[in-house]
Homo-oligomer: A and B are copies of this chain.
Amino acid sequence: MISRSPFGDSFEYSVNATQEQERLTQFVKNSRKTVVIQGLGFVGTAMAAAVANAKDASGNLIYNVIGVDLPDEANYWKIARVNKGLASVVSTDTSLDAAYTTAHTNGNLTATFSPFAYTLADIVVIDIHLDIKKKQLGNAREYDFTFERYKEAIKTVAERITNDTLVLIETTVPPGTTEKVLKPMFELIGRQRGLNTSTVHLAHSYERVMPGKEYLSSITNFYRVYSGTDDAAKQATREFLSSFINTKDFPLTELHSTTASEMSKVLENSFRAMNIAFMQEWTEFAEAAGVNMFDVIQAIRVRPTHRNIMAPGFGVGGYCLTKDSLLADWSYSTLFESDKRLGISLSAIDINDMMPKHSVEMLKSAMPDLKGKHITVLGVSYLNDVADTRYSPAELFYDLCTKEGAVMQLHDPLVSYWVEKATSVHTSLDELARLKHDAAIFAVRHSNYLGMTADQILSALPGVSLILDAFNIISEATAQSLRERGVKVLGVGKGHWN
């Protein structure tokens, strides 16, 4: 069988469980503690690098690290890459690659498909995803959610760990999950297996990993929140986190319960989502009133109490801000049986999900009939200087324009293939220059787009007559210069351009 990676390499694989058990048993034959990380995705990859490179006061490596993922087409490449000393996430952070190279040389990091790894663990870190799906974009009150797959995966851990193991949940989960869902499962299986369940410690801690150039550092050099289901779990987690996080500059926060830690995570993401939605509402008002919202924001941010007010933009994407309020809402009504809902938090998700529609409407205000028009989208990732396209707001924009009969052309310096739309993307502006352009939208604040001059824009988009700046990318001077050359320029939050 073959597993293809987004890096372009591919790996043939077969699964030999016995051989793998022997290899892993040899791998941990030393005095170091063993940390097993379940899930080599976005968080697990950075965690594996951070933990494998952790050293004690004498400069000795502290841990053996084993990353576990699935032996299937979609995931096996992660295992294979880690075992070659390569990271399993596409990233612009060069320090991540360096950390993988170092760990590979040191020989204390490996990856496996074999759940046997959990039998060897002193600490198991759960970094697998827990999804919640909106039934329909624009109605966050209705969603599909089940723990089934998540519990199945964690069951493979519960069925194998030994006494005195710390199981640290890092997944973003509905608040209450560790206490009400996982703890009973671990206790039941532990009793069935004859474990001393009082020595199996469950904890929750959430990372605040950011994609981009500071990806690895956002694990090791940032504040962490954690809690455990008992004091021993709290203490073990504190010791573990302190061993690879710079807690001198970024002290840990211990909360009173795992539910509090789980809530803290979804709350902080919901806080951002709410404030983005709030700004979208006022952005549309500013546009109607001819006001430059970016100037207003700057005037307001001088107040320390108002520094976190958000700026207008094109949309919200990625894996967290688009769904975490739903996990909380599910917990509220299901785990805690309330008849209340997180009403304005869910409304915020809806506003954010529909944001790109506003850009379509703005485009149509100047070009009512999009049929047959060549529309160029600059930026399809969900965040600036990141290759990640999960839940990218460009998706809705693309769909709505396509529905109107527009011919879509895509550019992104970091994305050559847009998985979600199964379509290829130009990565060079020179390639764009060979195409026909009617309208263009700047949708992501990629470094490559910021500070582009009118000359550079017009040579990349020959013939363009309408440009929409959806994310404050084009300067006032460039907009003016484009206008003098006959191009209509509009901007989200730029009411003064009307």
Task: Using CB atoms and an 8 Å cutoff, list the residues of chain A in contact with chain B.
Answer: 175-176, 208, 223, 225, 253, 255-257, 259-260, 263-264, 267-268, 270-272, 274-275, 277-278, 281-282, 284-286, 288-292, 295-296, 298-300, 302-303, 305-309, 328, 331-332, 335-336, 338, 340, 342-345, 347-348, 351, 496
Contact = CB atoms under 8 A, between A and B. Distances in A.
16 contacts: A253-B302, A256-B292, A260-B296, A263-B291, A263-B296, A264-B299, A264-B300, A271-B275, A275-B275, A277-B344, A281-B344, A288-B336, A289-B331, A289-B332, A289-B336, A308-B308
Contacts of A225: 299
B285 A263 contact: yes
Given A272-B305, A282-B342, A344-B277, A257 B290 contact: yes
A308 B301 CA distance: 11
Given A256-B496, A264-B300, A298-B253, A274 B274 contact: yes
A303 to B, nearest CB: 7
Contacts of A284: 338, 340
A268 B338 contact: no
Given A268-B306, A347-B344, A291 B260 contact: yes
Nearest to A284: B340
A282 B291 CA distance: 33
Contacts of A271: 275, 278, 300, 306, 309
A230 to B, nearest CB: 16
Specify how many copies of this chain sit in the oligomer: 2
A255 B296 CA distance: 7
A347 B342 CA distance: 12
Contacts of A348: 344
Q: Decide if the interface of chain A is mainly helix, strand, loop or mixed.
A: helix
A264 B296 contact: yes
B344 A288 contact: no
A270 B291 contact: no
Given A175-B289, A296-B255, A208 B303 contact: yes
Contacts of A296: 255, 260, 263-264, 267
A247 to B, nearest CB: 12
Nearest to A306: B268
A328 B286 CA distance: 10
Nearest to A337: B288
A342 B281 contact: yes
A291 B259 contact: yes
Contacts of A267: 282, 296, 300, 309
A460 to B, nearest CB: 30
A266 to B, nearest CB: 9
Given A267-B300, A268-B303, A295 B255 contact: yes
Contacts of A263: 282, 285-286, 289, 291, 296
A445 to B, nearest CB: 16
A305 to B, nearest CB: 6
Nearest to A253: B299
Contacts of A302: 223, 253
Contact of A274 (B176, B278, B299, B340): B278
A332 B263 CA distance: 36
Contacts of A290: 257, 259
Contacts of A291: 175, 256-257, 259-260, 263
A163 to B, nearest CB: 29
Given A277-B344, A288-B332, A340-B284, A307 B306 contact: no
Given A175-B291, A260-B292, 7 more contacts: A175-B285, A257-B291, A285-B328, A285-B338, A307-B308, A343-B347, A344-B348
A248 to B, nearest CB: 14
